[in-house]
Amino acid sequence: MKQRIEQPKSSEITPRELYMSRRSFLTAAAGIGAAALGAEKVNELLHPLTVKAATHLNAQRSPISTTGEKQTPYQDVTSYNNFYELSTDKETPARIASSFHPLPWTLQIDGLVGRPLKLDYDELMKLAPLEERVYRHRCVEGWSMVIPWIGFPLKALLDRVQPTGQARYVAFTSVTRPKELPGQQRGVLNWPYKEGLRLDEAMNPLTLLTVGLYGEVLPNQNGAPVRIVVPWKYGFKSAKSIVRITLTDRMPPTSWNESNPSEYGFYSNVNPKVDHPRWSQARERRIGELFRRETLLFNGYGDFVAGMYKGMDLRKDF
Ligand code: MTE
């Protein structure tokens, strides 16, 4: 991952309400002027804001949410992304995300389980009640956001498949569709994108199987139709567009660790005291803020997760 922290242009920092009203304005303007402008022009006008028609999701706000922290505007959350299957820069994923057609989708859960499962998108959405979780999201590159995700605890799905006594780890595999995901036509990572958690981390109530954000289905560039969100770890642990969850008895290989083991470990817990070999992790740039803020151990979620790492040397197991 690149060291330089890129800042969004101020024109991109648009509060959600403003962004929505701009969209309604454009939609209305398109309706009124369509005949005069012609369909092509109308499409051009609407294109950047209507890559995918958003679909509303009903979800209850979970008590496990950050309180008092300002949410990062929708526009930033959905236009400043790391999604290497689409592009290695941060602005391109949103621009070209419409090349990806996630549905129909199958999520397979297998490995050391009593009841392996294959779910289509509708079955997945019915598996457990949807919750809104407002989480801090800290990228290993040094930027952070606060995002209202929608999903349900991964534990609900894992309980359903009944892990066997031998299961100790959970491996996540992202989608492989080079025709729809142009980044996969290049060997920047060993495709498919792979991530993993220890079983207790995967079962932790914070770990969210995520299907939406800001009250809507996940935009493609944020990992549609289903991704993992692990808020006490650096963002790269939160694999996007996952097709397979496999329970195993040994630590699974992970993409970033495979590509650069001295820089990206398996655990990757947010830790201001353990620097990346090329930069400090002590502070972070919250997108939309001018001054850097201090990074919190476990991204501020120590009360929920510190117990899982008792007795471990977090410098060694970074
Ligand atoms: N998952 C896949 N499949 N491909 C990726 O390139 N990037 C990771 C993670 N999950 C990535 C991925 C990184 S580095 C980060 S910081 C987060 O997704 C970014 O999530 P966001 O774009 O929703 O903020």
Q: Which of 129, 151, 20 is nearest to 73 (CA)?
A: 20
pLDDT given at position 15: 40
Distance 108 CA to ligand 1 centre (A): 20
Give 13-27 pLDDT, tens digit per residue: 334 444 344 343 333
Alpha carbon of 137 to ligand 1 centroid (Å): 11
Taking CA atoms only, the protein residue closest to ligand 1 atom 2 is 240
- Give the number of domains in the chain: 2
Same structural domain for residues 174 and 33?
Answer: no
The angle at the Cα of 235, spanning 55 to 264, to the nearest 5 degrees, equals 150
Query: Is 84 a pocket residue for ligand 1 (Cβ < 6 Å)?
Result: yes
Give the model's confidence band at 43: pLDDT under 50 very low, under 70 low, under 90 confident, else very high. very low
Domain ranges, residue 239: 57-309
Q: Report pLDDT digits (tens) over 157-176.
A: 999 999 999 999 999 999 99
* 129 and 32 assigned to the same domain: no
**Across 298-311, average pLDDT:** 98
Quote the pTM value.
0.86
Q: Do both 33 and 78 map to the same domain? A: no
Do residues 25 and 81 share a domain? no
Say whether both 25 and 141 belong to one domain. Answer: no
Flag whether 300 is in a domain. yes
Nearest CA owner, ligand 1 atom 14: 236
Contacts of 273 (CB under 8 A, 6+ apart): 281, 282, 297, 314
> Residue 15 has which token pair?
């509060």
**Residue 196 in domain:** yes
Q: What is the CATH number of the domain that holds 284?
A: 3.90.420.10
Q: What's the mean pLDDT in 102-110?
A: 98
Query: How far is the centre of ligand 1, averaged over its atoms, from the C-alpha of 236 (Å)?
Result: 5
Provide φ and ψ at 304, rounded to 5°.
-90, -30
Is 290 found in the same domain as 235?
yes
pLDDT at res. 54: 76
CB of 239 shorter than 6 A to ligand 1:
yes
- Answer yes or no: is 7 within a domain: no
Measured distance CA(188)–CA(134) in Å, rounded: 31
